Structure 1
Amino acid sequence: MVKSYKIFIILLIIAIALLAFLGSNSYKQIREQEKTAELVVYTLRVESEINTLFSEYALMQSQVLKNKLFNKVNHTILLKKYKDSARETFSKLSFLIKDKPEQQKRLNELATIQFKFYEAIDEFNAYKTDTKKEKVNDSALLQNVSVLMAKIEGIKKNMLSHEELYLQEQRDQLTTSRRLNPITTLFLGMSAILIFIISFWQINKQRKKNDTTTAFLKSVLKNTENIVSYYTPVKNSSEKIIDFKIVYINHNIENILGTKVKEMKGKLLSNILPMQFKNGVFEHLVTCYETGKMQKFKRNYEFNKTDYRFKSSVVKLNDGVLVTAADITDEHIIKKNLTAAKDKLESQNLLLLDNRAFLSNVFKSTSNIVTHFKSIRDASNKIIDFEILFINDSQNESIKNNIPSELKYKKASEIYPDIFKNGVFEKMVNCIEKEQQIEYETHIEKNGKTIWLNATAIKLNDGVTVTSRDITLEKIRAEKLNILNAELEIQNSIFKDAEEVADIGSYVWYLDSGTAVISDNFYRILGYEPKEFEVTFDSYRSFIHPDDLKLYDQLGKETVENGTSTIHTYRVITKSGAFKHIYINGQKVVKDGRDASVGVVQDITDSVKTEEKLKAKNEELKRSNAELESFNRVASHDLQEPMRKIQMFISRLSEGEIEKLSDRGKMYFNKIDSSANRMQTLIKYLLAYSRINRTKKDFVKISLNDTIEKVLGDLEELIEESGVNITIDNLPTIKAIPFQMEQLFNNLVNNAIKYRSTTETPKITIECKKLTRTEITDTFNKRRKNYYRLTIKDNGIGFDQENAKKIFGLFERLHQKEQYSGTGIGLAICKKIIVNHRGHIIAKSKPGEGSTFSVYLPA
């Protein structure tokens, strides 16, 4: 009996000990759960406040840019609202991290940058961009805002990383606490027998507290804007994770999926969110669970025909993974809007540069000097001077005195003082006041030589455009003819030969009787044999073209009265009935005691025809210029505007009417949508191709490292989605047109990504090497001693080498548009940019072995 009692006592003691041990272990587990719950709540609150604060900054940046695009200057109501909201969030965040010195330090740094950011935002919002110079300032202010925003994003990243690190540290401490010595645990369990009642009471108290904490945690998870879920792995017989089971997910998912949470709990992830197994999210979950390392990623989703973008973080928690997904769709849209606004500004600047470059090329192609003067008037509206607004880079070196850029905006009285002495100023004034075209001759002195100019003045607005042509050679010829006339009697035989060679003639016209003697070649010019008819002023008049008879009569009158005439050209009708243009220049002399006019004539028919052809070419150039402007206007507005409306109505139909169509109707509707998008892209690329041009001042020193970095930033989403690995060599600094270099690399990298490999990890390698022209084996016109060879190599699908030249042609495609999207203009643009930079581009490839594009640029 005693023995049984003792056994009972022993069993009771053992039972009490086991109960005490279990109670102690349960208490410890409850404390761990409580601590974990509090940690999750705290971390979620801090991360939520951080995301809220930095979202306010992004909204400020988006708002001022929107104000700028719609010319809403000083529209500060929404900005003040965002600032007040940011200030309130800043205070909450400061309170939450008051026990964290490192986070406080970052928050203090943010306060400093925030002040500068507000100043930059206000300055950019208030700045009015009416002139070109102010647009440059506008771009600088926008750049300042972007730089400060980048610094703010860096602080945000560091603070979130710190919170995730803090959470990981707490988890590590929790893991360490579980490794208590079993003997110590048993000892504590035995000791707990003495305070069994107290322990029971404490456990019950902690249980109630844990229930309160759990309720609080559920409230936080229910009210947070993020989607929080907890998954446990599902393994096969070989212990490989093949799926995840949804243990918990908060109610925010219901608004997106349209499915109740209770219908998702306990279900497999593959059944509820099958897209996670296609976009790489499942691999991130497995990696986090197996390695314990936090995983961060961004993904696009489509739920119920609505596009979303989520930023997710995955941490391992107990026997599963905790996933927190933040909806950054609005932030993504803001970023796209910023990019679109930036592209629009660049497009406008590009159009201005192209128009200027085109006009510059037109003016450079002529040897004439084209100058535009703006009138300077006094108080009585009388023209007293002119201001030089434009002068072209003429190729005529004989009459260029100054660099055009040094003459702009200076007064004519300062640069050309002689025009106020030789009557040119009065002719320019008459051209404006009488609104008629005026032609005149003038001369300038350069390096001890006299240069004669034939000028044409045409009114333009309240100014005059003067086109000057060098006629010094013509004057020299006339002077030589005068000398020959003076030596006519002693060099008659030589002169006859010279006349026939030069297609000129000579005459002696006696002013008292009207009789004349003309040279043999003068007869030939008229289509007659020498001495075939007797020449007098009246008989020669029968050869004059009827429309020029008044000119001829005036020439005769002026010659009789003054000995010379201002009329030098007229038309004659030859014996065969052909029209010829005659140039005549005579001087009054006394011959044989009689007043006579001795001079020369020249058949200038070919010159006149050449000049007429030149005028026709100029008219054709003007028409071509008008057609080009019309094309740019049609392409940039008249074509794009209908396309935008088509796309808008397609979008509206797709939102409300698409479901009413039959399957065939939907197919046709989708083809219409695809064709409209392709048409708009084609117009955009055609405009880009037509605008590629070059002027010397467009070339500046740029770092190709900075250029490729900017291009990769613009293609960030495409690179991330395609999973391509890009390796870049150290690139040089060259003189180039910045936006054309960006366009070049953008097209080549985009092309490599588009035609990437489908069987292996896509790779792109960009390398650079400096070569002398003797080291270059590729054939092209090597004008420079050294070149940089930029190589863009990929491991994509490749193409047949026989198509290597074909791919650089306009609208040339090696694949059907159903296989790969595109316009067939991208590589044509690349080639035009390279040619514009005096370089060369070639492509080498084999099907299935990738492609290599080699770009040679002057070093």
Structure 2
Amino acid sequence: MPLTALDPAQVLSYIQEGAMTAILYCEPIFQDEQVIDFQYVWGNQKASEYSGLLPGQLRQSTMLEIFPNIRTSGIFSRYVQAWEQNQPQRFEREYVMNDRVWWLDVSVIRQGKGIVITALDITASKEIRRQLQQQTAVLQTIVDYCPSGLMLLDAVRNPAGDIIDFRYMLTNPANAQVTGLSVEQMTGRLLLDLFPGSYSEGMFQRIVEVTETGEIQQFEHHYQGDDMDVWINATIVKINDNQTLFTFQDITTLKQQQLALREQAQLVAASNQELKKSNEDLERFAYVASHDMKAPLRKIKAFADILRHQQQEQWDERTLDFIDRIQKSAAQLMGLVDGLLQFSIVSNWETSFLVVSLEEIMAEVLTHLQLPIDETGATITWQNLPRIIGNPILLSELFQNLIANALKYRHPDRRPVISISGEQITGAELPDRLNAVSDPNGPAVWWQITVADNGIGFDMKYQDEIFHPFRRLHTQRDYEGIGIGLATVKRITEKHRGYITVQSRPGAGTSFYLYLKEYLIV
């Protein structure tokens, strides 16, 4: 039925009762030819709901009586403008009634003697828009402050549907920092226009593959195009039929550190190899030199003996003193050569291991040292010594040097007491200084072999020096020796893949601790 065939009163009734939009008709109220208010003439059911008045009450009210605050908010002036200037108005306003907040989309037009006001409830859509704005703000914050570079790329296709480029839809400061271009300079621009090197680098093809197949790609790449030299750890994910998200982490610093460490490790390995060769050459030289030096030293000593004993009546006391000094110096030098030769032999020994009883080794060592033991009145005990995989000759040398060292540096006021014992310990019980150098993948159980004496002891500031060749804490006049015994002990221990430490205190004795890994035990 055409609209013109309807009774206007019937149409108005439909509008009043069924419309979802509030509709009001009001006429201006004048004072001194100025519009000071509007009188409501009629309104539909929705208008009554918004105002909280019955239709009869609404028609008896003016606009400012019901909504006095619209004068200060500027809304009333827009109603006046619609009437006086015949200019339609459209705006959104917040509307509070009975502790409820509504948002209305309001339209105002002049009609006849008054104005027609329509108001649509947009509270739900306003809330959705507010939530979307909040989500957008959160997303933008995440994008802006994300430490990873981020690019949302939209595929650009030719008429045949082939991807020929990608357009930046979104990017962030982390990407800008790497590329050297601002977010504004990249947004909306084409990838190949900004970074043509991405094609030759293979990056463009990766993005195409993900966009076409949907298969995620994760990879590490060294990008050296477009005035950039960066390492990235990248992920490419398809978002929809035409858009792809490219994210990456700049790992340039990490890679540079890794490469530097690798180069340093290579240099250290090369230096160690050179040092090893140098040490081997030095040890061979020491062996040859000490071996060859013994012959002339024996001759010096022999000739001094002849002068001292066979022609003693020809020399005065001063000359005999000189000869004695020559003999002592020759003997001392002979001891040095023997020590150097012994240390060289130990260092170059091609070690072969077999099952060895440390108790049997100890019994043999004490037999060799019986004379100084008797002379000093020493007491030597041992207990719980294990059977190990080792070299019997070197181990005999090791314990002989340790016990001889204890006998030599005995306390002048008491007889030497030396105890040797074995104890199994865990890796956690190793001294702190060994935890740093021991193999973390090695066994958890070790053997600790302790050699303790009650001798003169020494200051612990010399704990490392005593294991150096020819390093002595006392003068030759006080204690004879050449300072090679403990260095030999340390070298033998290392050949058995073990460690040696020491604890001492002046006047209170010394304890040496040998540490051997469990896998050497049988």
Q: Point out the structure with the larger strand share.
A: 2
Structure having the higher Rg: 2
Assess same fold via TM > 0.5: no
Structure richer in helix, relative to its length: 1
TM-score, scaled relative to structure 1: 0.27
